[in-house]
Amino acid sequence: MSILTSIFNKILHRGGDAPAAAPTATNPPPRDVTAQAGPASVTGAVPPTAPAPAPAMSQVDVEAVLNGMAKDNPQKLNWRTSIVDLMKLLDLDSSLQARKQLADELHYTGDKNDSASMNIWLHKQVMQKLAANGGKVPADLKD
């Protein structure tokens, strides 16, 4: 399992037994064709000119989840700015090797030996990916 998937599972799918992949542009949430109005609802077919809107997904409040985890953690972890602390909070390997692997997953093109720059980039990318995949992330954490 990728590190990014582990992060998603720990934040976006808390409490689920077998989390499904988060919806993306290439993996949209399933549509309920039985909820169509009009004659199409009798057969369950979706009229070709009026596709059913995708059901609204409830967003996971990433900040609330992580603040709750931080409150219960004996360490003082600054997950808001540190990818290392975020990974520690999620009980994931936060070693340089693990962060380099995460950088590869996210297609980091900078110098991986400049860990400070890489860490800042990783944190912003993780927050942006969480927001793009069902997480409600404060704007200051995505910029």
Both structure tokens of 56: 């609204």
Domain ranges of the chain: 3-18+59-142
pTM of this prediction exceeds 0.75: no
pLDDT of res. 14: 72
Alpha carbons 135 and 58: distance in angstroms, whole number: 9
74: Cβ contacts below 8 Å, ≥ 6 apart: none
Per-residue pLDDT, 143: 77
C-alpha 108/C-alpha 93 separation (Å) is 19
Per-residue pLDDT tens over the stretch 2-34: 999 999 999 998 743 333 444 444 444 444 444
pLDDT > 90 fraction of the chain, expressed in percent and rounded: 64
- Residue that wins the pLDDT comparison between 10 and 47: 10
Mean pLDDT of 86-99: 97
- Taking residues 33-59, report their average pLDDT: 47
